[in-house]
Structure 1
């Protein structure tokens, strides 16, 4: 049975949630991390966030995609931990 997973909405991601998802990726560039945090946690437009931190837009989107995949995976497996 498929699990309906809501998308990560810019400005609506809790900082702890962001950090946990980020820890499960290979993202290490400080500029990209800062831009992703501004975008997902603070709701700042991606163009502003990447320009402010000097992050490469292509890398920003690659890492955003990776975070979103981890989010979907975590949501799908969470049903197995509901009673833990």
Structure 2
């Protein structure tokens, strides 16, 4: 299956929405996509999140891992122009 190209801003928006749907992850306030300099086979980005103190760290880590894995199967980051 071909991966869809997506902009960094769109990927961050989708990831934030998806992560917040997980119980315990409602306190995530932002998601940042960081491009990797030497990506393995097209996986060229990583998610970083910022959450309020009330967030459940274990649940947030699970949500980020699950969301990241799912989005990496579907999307490839569009090169910045």
> Same fold by TM (over 0.5)?
no
Q: Which has the larger radius of gyration?
A: 1
Of Structure 1 and Structure 2, the greater helix share is in 1
Which bracket does the TM-score occupy, shorter chain normalised?
0.3 to 0.5
**The structure with more strand, counted as a fraction of residues:** 2
